[in-house]
Structure 1
Amino acid sequence: MSVFTFGTEPTRVSSPWLRSVKTEDDTIAKLEAEPQEGAIEYKLHLLLRPRRPYQLIGTASASGSVRDDILSDCDSLSAYVTAPSLLTDPKNRKPSNEYYATSTESRRLRLYHLTTQLLWRLKQSMTNGPLGTTESLIPKLPADSDDLRAAIQPGTLWQGLEESRGALYEIGVSDDGTLVGLPDDEMEESLLTLQVMAASLGCVVKVTRRHCVGECEWSNSSTKREKSQESSTVIREKLFVAEALVTPSRGKDTASLVAAETPSSPSTKPGTNLESASLTEQLRITLTGPTDGGKSTLLGTLSTGIFDNGAGRSRTFLLRHRHELTSGMTTSLSHVLIGYKDNGLEENQIYSFSDRNIDSWEAIHDSSRDGRLVFVSDSAGHPRFRRTILRGLVGWAPHWTLLCLTANDGELKIRTTATTATSHEETDPALVEVDHAKAHLDLCLKLRMPLVIVITKLDVATTASFRSTLTKVLTAVKSAGRTPKLLIKQRVQSDPTRVPAIDEDDVQPLISAMTKSGNLLNFVPIVSTSAVKGEGIGMLHALLQNLPIPSTPTARDYIGAALNPEQPDAVFHIDDKFSLSALYGNPVKDEDEAKHGTVVAGYLRFGHLAVGDRILVGPFPPDDDSRAITPEERGSPGGEGLSASHPSSSELGRLAMRNAVPASAIQGEWYNARIVTIRNLRLPVRLLEPGQAGTIGIIFEMPEEDLSDSIFERPPRPTPKVRKGMVLAMPSKHMLETGLSLQAASGVTGVFEDASASSLIQGSIVKVYIASVRASARIVRVSPTWTFQGVHGAVETEDDDHDVFSMEKLDGALSARYEHSLVYEVQLDLLTHREWIEMGSQVVILEGGSRDKSGLESFVGKVVEIVE
């Protein structure tokens, strides 16, 4: 299941007046009965006081014409028809208890009951109705002595109602649809009560229909003395029914959900309106490893508490496609959410689907408040899906990577050696698996990311194979300059909803050492697990709950302001895009995106984004440039021995890349848009914090074209097509004042410390991964460069002069003063698209694989120059 999963479309908010049967004179005698489900609420009245006794109630049919304005006149009333069932006995003058029962509860208690009914109705028109505790469902309501008119201004929108389409209230109508009606004063009081209810939830009320349905009589006598003297007068008034629409407040112009004129939100500043954001500590984890590494099975056990049966039962809770269930091979990204919290007990609580009280991510958010949320992504393992592997490792910017390797890897290698010794006609699949495990391990170490190695399948491994796998892992980790820390005590977790206290105690020394070192790359924890027997599962839970989280990202993490003044205040990397309504999350067609907007997914690199913010989206190719196509639109037939995602994987792909247009020939454009909804790990919020992942609903603000000089009708300007790799950005004040625009890079230059980068061939086509950007590029230049780091900074020289600055000719003083290293500068020319690339960010280059390679060989460097 994806973090972006939306449920089925909810019941639409539709007026029952549109479905009612009309009489011969085009009037409506009765509405349909109130539906049990949906966003329609029939209310005889919303009074907070007992009703007056009536002497006579008479109703008539209301006009059935659909009107959006308020109808307060009754001139078109055809005839006065008395409803015998609604008449009171004129002798005893007692009203019918069915419609006029008095209330004995306090005003505030009745207002609370009415407000919770409204909250429930508002959720009925949402795709995902968030859950919450009882305490979180108590709105702030005026006291019994307060003036209600002072409480009609909408407050902060109730968390979770951002995507509600509203609720309809039919006032003066009984549950069976009978048009009872209210006199004018009681109708106004009911509407005032509804306004107070809506305002407490951050909503507004609009009366969409008002009809006269009859007349009523009552006596204005208020004391027994007046009754005895028969000095009371009879008052006759008309009866009305009203239809009111309650919708979430989205700014000044609440009549329009899309064109809401909200001011530029000040909540983009740190510390403002934080109650509308998720403040629970969040840790992002990516699982990676070879195909048979047991990633999905392990994650299924962690998130459900169900041990595997040895045949992959646990992974069935995660796999999203039928072919994945059939083959058992993960080919796409799937996500789970696990919550942890210290409840003051001996063992900390685990909030996941192993808890019978948890049935949604919103419930995990609510239960883990003030604790920790761990967002875990599971990715593919086969090199054929290597772009999915890199997307999970690079695109989501995870805080930690969990590399899963099988404990019987050494046994497979021994069997492979025996097989290949007797037969050389074909390659044994086990040999490929061993190579893939090493390739995944090398890739994770090259990426310079915090790493945890999980050795899986202890139940099927022998002591010799486990020792062989562990030796290989320890050797690779130490060779990378990191310190391995073994946490391989094989204890079984007895309670899937608790973190064992003994495992918690075992991980604390390691966590303390990590915290003191200040560098999360220094240590590599190694955990051994078995999803079948449950060994090591508690240890892994304890580790996930306590792993240090990197510091909050800022705009100047990579490079200072002097070298990069064009840095915006906030950047959201788009890693996925969905054809969903920006407001409600329902599927929409591409041609309707201009009206309904779209939903993008990714993570906030730095800064704050809030609902109502005006942002820039891009970079886009020009509207008339048909040469620029997305990587998804380009065919990738796939060559034998190569990744199908690689542009050079076939003769057709090589021919297409040879004729590809450089991005420098394509201008980049930016479009204005407005944020209308935000979800942080499925939780509806109004503010996204730096480093958090989620989905954002945006609506483009397309400029109006001047067609006054044209005699021909022009088609409307098409809505820009959002693709993966773009960004949502908020320009800084400095950029606005100086007129600087956001950069759109057509090429980059990266520095690579790996000596194997010298094997890159000038003119070859490669795949480049930078943040959420995945693009094809042509290598323009590969230059070895000496870098001297000393007291006065770095001194770089081209290799052509290396005879002058070589180590042999450096005198003793220069050698002692400068630390030197040989690096490789690689200049890349992006193809197809311009991209937004941040100076100092990590760049990964992947070449095409072959039969004798795993396909994951990569070169990892840092961006030092951007070509616009």
Structure 2
Amino acid sequence: MSPDRAVLERALERGEQEGGSVEFKERLTRDLHLADGRLESLAAQLRHRVLSGDGEATYVVGVTDDGGLAGIPPAEFSESMDVLSLLAEEAGAHIEDVQTWGVPGRDGGADRGIVGVATVREGAMLDVDDQHIVVGTAGHVDHGKSTLVGSLVTGQPDDGEGGTRGFLDVQPHEVERGLSADLSYGVYGFDEDGPVHTLNPHRKQDRARVVEEADRLVSFVDTVGHEPWLRTTIRGLVGQKLDYGLLVVAADDGPTKTTREHLGILLATDLPTIVAITKADMVEEERLLEVEREVERLLRNADRTPLRIERHGVDTAIEEISEQVVPIVTTSAVTMEGLDVLDQLFERLPKTADGAGAFSMYIDRTYSVTGVGAVASGTIRSGTVAAGDELLVGPMADGGFREVEVRSIEMHYHRVDEARAGRIVGIALKGVREADLQRGMVLLPRDADPSAVWEFEAEVMVLNHPTRIGEGYEPVVHVETVSEAAAVYPEEGHLLPGDTGRARVRFKFRPYHVEAGQRFVFREGQSKGVGTITKVLPGD
């Protein structure tokens, strides 16, 4: 019996008892259980169960009154969770976690439905303020990026073998079982007493605790250090609404070709960036000084001003960090050198992403969760979204947009009633199948008038190319979470390395919703460039 199944078995074994914290329900429906006084009585019952369990109750849905496994269809289970959420809200509580299992049919046939265990906890759903920054990490493979972030979010030193790196692995079963919004691979926060660490990031309840307790949150968005996966790195840095970049450079290796690639992407997207020199414990002082000078030269060659925090202080770094000034800090995850400096920075750096305007979110990942349905996750680009909101999603393959409803929202495994710009969230959608959703689609308010765009005009700059870019050149274009092959048609017929000019860009396989002013990166092989959309063009 798996540990997950044990949760169900324990609840069934405890059973419904007078004065107990377990409640059995076969199903909950809006028409029956929210009608004429039923809501108040059921909310009172839920409150009684929560108090009996010292602030936590267990609701088993899909079972008979005596605990028999009845199983109900996924749509009915989903409705039951909606009703239970309303009952919890009425009782001053919230659903913290839901786990589901199939109920096998007779004689080993197809499942006849599902049964689920919902953990209901005292207290309203989380209301997060605006003190939440999102940091995109970058750097060459084996330069200690994941280890550094692992030590930051846990507050624990590394064992010298990359042990804290393991805290940041995303577990496949977490994606399959929950409304995972875990685009970021690490989260920690701060309260009036200092850092609030994620003691065991493998436990989603622990991440949820950090989100609940911290006055300020810091999320780290994963990127990949291997050169062959530069596309994935671009998606992490361009496709999320980041506030800052964190570039790591190992003291024993120094800046590499990949380091320069990642720095170029960070700077091309005008993202304020911090450079952390890692593995300071592994080299002599002379080598450390040499790498520091290499990093400073690298930044100056990119027309940026390096600022050594060791020399100028944290206050100056916070005041000066910008698109032009790049603070540098020396660190070691083993000795914890420099991590207090990063803590001070992340606790005090202001949020930079402007989230004003109507709600919009580009989809980065999609999931299908049993009993819940389609889940779209990404970083909210602007505005706010709340459970029950009616939205549009698209464009679909035919260029149209579909009406959907927000069923629920989760952030770092914690269910929230509302989320704002800059939040990394998973949004459960009613009215669409997961199979119909794709990365690069956008969620917008229902009253928006979005368009599906095949072509746009842009100002582009060629960062690197072996010869020249001519008519019909086909790179991959990365804008928001869109990663799509496109044809480029320079206004002057061609562009050389270092050139800046106007061009027309056409998506090759399907349209997307893009807008004037959005920045993008394009690449193909060793060729790279950046651009800004100046005008979207009508037609197909």
Q: Is 1:284–2:134 an aligned residue pair?
A: yes
- What's the offset of the Cα at 1:536? 1.1
- What's the offset of the Cα at 1:361? 1.3
Q: Is 1:436–2:106 an aligned residue pair?
A: no
2:356 corresponds to: 554
Where do 1:27-66 residues align within 5 Å?
35-37=12-14, 41-43=16-18
Q: Is 1:695–2:456 an aligned residue pair?
A: no
Greater CA drift, 286-295 or 154-163: 154-163
Q: Is 1:723–2:438 an aligned residue pair?
A: yes
Letter in 2 for 1:570: F
Q: Secondary structure, in 3 states, of the residue corresponding to 1:160? A: strand
The gaps in structure 1 that reach 5 residues or longer are 1-6, 14-32, 47-65, 71-108, 127-151, 167-245, 249-273, 323-331, 411-432, 490-504, 515-519, 556-568, 585-595, 622-666, 702-717, 736-740, 786-797, 800-820, 850-856
Q: Is 1:467–2:289 an aligned residue pair?
A: yes
Q: Could you tell me how far apart the structure 1 residues matched to 2:91 and 2:454 are?
A: 42
Equivalent residue for 2:459, pick from 751, 759, 778:
751
Where do 1:133-282 residues align within 5 Å?
156=90, 158=92, 160-161=94-95, 277-279=127-129, 281-282=131-132
Preserved CA contact (<8 Å) 1:608 1:688: yes
Preserved CA contact (<8 Å) 1:395 1:773: yes
Q: 1:824 to 1:375 in 2, by over 3 A?
A: same
Q: Could you tell me how far apart the structure 2 residues matched to 1:301 and 1:44 are?
A: 43
Q: Could you tell me how far apart the structure 2 residues matched to 1:111 and 1:315 are?
A: 41
Q: 1:513 to 1:157 in 2, by over 3 A?
A: farther
Which structure carries more strand by proportion? 2
1:579 corresponds to: 368
1:656 corresponds to: none
Q: Could you tell me how far apart the structure 2 residues matched to 1:34 and 1:375 are?
A: 34
Where do 1:418-567 residues align within 5 Å?
434-488=256-310, 506-514=313-321, 520-550=322-352, 552-555=354-357
1:350 corresponds to: 196
RMSD: 4.1
Deviations 1:572-627 (A, max 9, x none): 1110001214xx5xxxxxxxxxxx52111001111221111111111111xxxxxx
Q: 1:387 to 1:404 in 2, by over 3 A?
A: same
1:611 corresponds to: 387
TM-score calculated relative to the size of structure 1: 0.48
Q: Secondary structure, in 3 states, of the residue corresponding to 2:369? A: coil
Equivalent residue for 1:386, pick from 216, 230, 235:
230
Q: Could you tell me how far apart the structure 2 residues matched to 1:45 and 1:553 are?
A: 45
1:189 corresponds to: none
Q: 1:457 to 1:719 in 2, by over 3 A?
A: closer
Q: Could you tell me how far apart the structure 1 residues matched to 2:229 and 2:183 are?
A: 11
- What's the offset of the Cα at 1:772? 0.8
Preserved CA contact (<8 Å) 2:46 2:88: no
Q: 1:782 to 1:117 in 2, by over 3 A?
A: same
Q: Is 1:400–2:244 an aligned residue pair?
A: yes
Q: Could you tell me how far apart the structure 2 residues matched to 1:698 and 1:10 are?
A: 29
Preserved CA contact (<8 Å) 1:305 1:354: no
Q: Could you tell me how far apart the structure 2 residues matched to 1:571 and 1:437 are?
A: 32
Q: Could you tell me how far apart the structure 2 residues matched to 1:111 and 1:769 are?
A: 48
1:121 corresponds to: 57
Q: Secondary structure, in 3 states, of the residue corresponding to 1:751? A: strand
Q: Could you tell me how far apart the structure 1 residues matched to 2:364 and 2:98 are?
A: 26
- What's the offset of the Cα at 1:434? 2.6
Deviations 1:403-456 (A, max 9, x none): 00111235xxxxxxxxxxxxxxxxxxxxxx832222222332222111000001
Q: Could you tell me how far apart the structure 1 residues matched to 2:197 and 2:170 are?
A: 22
- What's the offset of the Cα at 1:43? 2.9
Q: 1:613 to 1:462 in 2, by over 3 A?
A: same
Q: Secondary structure, in 3 states, of the residue corresponding to 2:315? A: helix
Preserved CA contact (<8 Å) 1:488 1:527: yes
- What's the offset of the Cα at 1:337? 0.9
Q: Could you tell me how far apart the structure 1 residues matched to 2:336 and 2:20 are?
A: 59
- What's the offset of the Cα at 1:314? 2.1
Letter in 1 for 2:517: G
- What's the offset of the Cα at 1:537? 1.5
Q: Is 1:669–2:384 an aligned residue pair?
A: no
Preserved CA contact (<8 Å) 2:88 2:94: no
Q: Is 1:830–2:507 an aligned residue pair?
A: yes
Q: Could you tell me how far apart the structure 1 residues matched to 2:46 and 2:499 are?
A: 74
Deviations 1:617-647 (A, max 9, x none): 11111xxxxxxxxxxxxxxxxxxxxxxxxxx
Q: Secondary structure, in 3 states, of the residue corresponding to 1:833? A: coil
Preserved CA contact (<8 Å) 2:185 2:222: yes
Letter in 1 for 2:452: A
2:471 corresponds to: 762
Q: 1:384 to 1:614 in 2, by over 3 A?
A: same
Letter in 2 for 1:725: G
1:867 corresponds to: 537
Q: 1:382 to 1:153 in 2, by over 3 A?
A: closer
- What's the offset of the Cα at 1:386? 1.4
Q: Secondary structure, in 3 states, of the residue corresponding to 2:140? A: coil
Preserved CA contact (<8 Å) 1:351 1:367: no
Q: Could you tell me how far apart the structure 2 residues matched to 1:614 and 1:358 are?
A: 29
Q: Could you tell me how far apart the structure 1 residues matched to 2:208 and 2:250 are?
A: 34
Q: Could you tell me how far apart the structure 2 residues matched to 1:688 and 1:333 are?
A: 15
Q: 1:487 to 1:832 in 2, by over 3 A?
A: same
Q: 1:361 to 1:45 in 2, by over 3 A?
A: closer
Letter in 2 for 1:598: A
Q: Secondary structure, in 3 states, of the residue corresponding to 1:440? A: helix
Where do 1:642-653 residues align within 5 Å?
none
Q: Could you tell me how far apart the structure 2 residues matched to 1:776 and 1:339 are?
A: 38
TM-score calculated relative to the size of structure 2: 0.75
Q: Could you tell me how far apart the structure 1 residues matched to 2:509 and 2:314 are?
A: 48
- What's the offset of the Cα at 1:110? 12
Q: 1:247 to 1:513 in 2, by over 3 A?
A: closer
Q: Could you tell me how far apart the structure 2 residues matched to 1:44 and 1:439 are?
A: 62
Preserved CA contact (<8 Å) 1:455 1:529: yes
Q: Could you tell me how far apart the structure 2 residues matched to 1:436 and 1:754 are?
A: 18
Q: 1:304 to 1:111 in 2, by over 3 A?
A: closer
Q: Could you tell me how far apart the structure 1 residues matched to 2:423 and 2:353 are?
A: 12
Q: Could you tell me how far apart the structure 2 residues matched to 1:778 and 1:578 are?
A: 31
- What's the offset of the Cα at 1:158? 4.3
Preserved CA contact (<8 Å) 1:443 1:858: no
Deviations 1:680-733 (A, max 9, x none): 2222011111221110000117xxxxxxxxxxxxxxxx886111111111144x
Q: 1:159 to 1:374 in 2, by over 3 A?
A: farther
Q: Could you tell me how far apart the structure 1 residues matched to 2:313 and 2:351 are?
A: 19
- What's the offset of the Cα at 1:247? 12
Preserved CA contact (<8 Å) 1:750 1:862: yes
Preserved CA contact (<8 Å) 1:620 1:720: no
Q: 1:154 to 1:310 in 2, by over 3 A?
A: closer
Letter in 2 for 1:721: D
Letter in 2 for 1:688: A
Percent sequence identity over matched residues?
24
Letter in 1 for 2:515: E
- What's the offset of the Cα at 1:753? 4.2
Preserved CA contact (<8 Å) 1:766 1:777: yes
Preserved CA contact (<8 Å) 1:125 1:165: no
Preserved CA contact (<8 Å) 1:122 1:165: no
- What's the offset of the Cα at 1:165? 9.3
Q: Could you tell me how far apart the structure 1 residues matched to 2:353 and 2:49 are?
A: 45
Where do 1:9-24 residues align within 5 Å?
none
Letter in 2 for 1:611: A
Q: Could you tell me how far apart the structure 1 residues matched to 2:20 and 2:490 are?
A: 79
Q: Secondary structure, in 3 states, of the residue corresponding to 2:426? A: strand
2:221 corresponds to: 377
